[in-house]
């Protein structure tokens, strides 16, 4: 008898459970003529949030999704940049593309290059010798641009992959009839020409900048940045067009120094260039305009 009762109770429980899961239960109160809909009882699994791309803002946000959605996210991020910019500066003439990682941070990839020697004067001094510069720059870079206060002030850092050709020609102090002063020795510059190349050793050059990026309309903005890139030690190659010519020379006390040739002068100038620490750094100054999508 107990077995029959237990079986009946179990059957009733199973039947009522199935009914609750399948359809809502309608209860009619005959006294008030009100219909009540009973809430079905169920337990559902809430999946962990995944990350997806917000196409409107160019930002990666939390949302429910799967691994396939994540793959689409990175593809959408790559093909939907937040901004493009044109720039000119000591790295060269170029452009970059930016992707917004959040409301304060952008990832940038760009390139700048060309003949930019005239932008910083076209010459420089190394101890007692002035050099004219002819350059052909190629500076692809990858960096991060941060707005720490979420306003126009920016800080940037990244890596440049430099491939820069730098040709130099020495200018004699006082013109053609003047002299070169190298390693405390004055060489008569008559009929002597020094020229060569400079090459930085770093194949990857870290850089850092600070700047400003105000918006001037909904889509357009301008920017300016200053900073520096560490290019590494300089390898110089300096030659004389008259390497075997014996030069008139004197030391710092005015005493004659004999036996020095154009080749000796070139070697001394080359050594002085490689010892100039400031040549290890490439100053970064740039101006540009930005269009935001």
Confidence (pLDDT) at 216: 93
Confidence (pLDDT) at 177: 59
Strand, coil or helix: 50: strand
Confidence (pLDDT) at 116: 86
Confidence (pLDDT) at 22: 46
User: What is the Rg, in whole angstroms, of the alpha carbon atoms belonging to the chain?
Assistant: 37
pLDDT along the chain (293 residues), means of 10: 44 44 47 48 44 42 40 59 94 96 94 87 84 94 95 97 95 74 88 92 97 94 97 95 90 89 93 92 96 93
Contacts of 265 (CB under 8 A, 6+ apart): 180, 182, 187, 192, 194, 240, 247
Residue with tokens 């620490």: 277
- Distance, in Å, from the CA atom of 117 to the CA atom of 197, rounded to the nearest integer, reads 14
231 closest CA partner among 137, 155, 144: 137
Confidence (pLDDT) at 77: 58
pTM above 0.85, yes or no: no
């Amino acid at each position: 008898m107990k077995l029959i009762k237990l079986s009946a109770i179990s059957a009733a429980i199973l039947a009522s459970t199935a009914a609750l899961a399948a359809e809502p239960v309608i209860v009619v109160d005959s006294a008030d003529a009100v219909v009540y809909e009973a809430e079905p009882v169920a337990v559902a699994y809430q999946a962990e949030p995944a990350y997806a791309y917000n196409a409107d803002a160019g930002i990666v946000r939390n949302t429910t999704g799967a691994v396939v959605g994540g793959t689409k996210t990175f593809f959408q991020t790559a093909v939907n940049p937040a901004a493009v910019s044109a720039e000119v500066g000591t790295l060269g003439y170029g452009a970059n593309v930016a992707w917004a990682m959040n409301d304060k941070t952008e990832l940038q990839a760009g390139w700048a290059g060309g003949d930019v020697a005239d932008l910083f004067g076209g010459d420089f001094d190394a101890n007692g010798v002035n050099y004219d510069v002819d350059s052909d720059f190629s500076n692809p870079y990858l960096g991060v641009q941060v707005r720490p206060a979420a306003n126009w002030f920016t800080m940037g850092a990244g890596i440049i992959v430099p491939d820069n050709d730098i040709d130099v020609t020495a200018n004699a102090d006082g013109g053609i009839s003047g002299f070169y002063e190298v390693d405390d020795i004055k060489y008569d510059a008559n009929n002597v020409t020094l020229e060569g190349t400079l090459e930085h050793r770093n194949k990857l050059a870290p850089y850092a900048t600070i700047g400003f990026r105000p918006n001037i309309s909904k889509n357009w903005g301008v920017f300016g940045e200053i900073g520096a890139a560490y290019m590494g030690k300089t390898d110089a190659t300096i030659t004389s067009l008259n390497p075997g010519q014996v030069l008139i020379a004197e030391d710092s006390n005015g005493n004659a120094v004999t036996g020095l040739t154009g080749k000796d002068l070139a070697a001394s100038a080359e050594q002085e260039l490689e010892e100039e620490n400031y040549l290890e750094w490439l100053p970064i100054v740039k101006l540009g305009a930005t269009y935001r999508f």
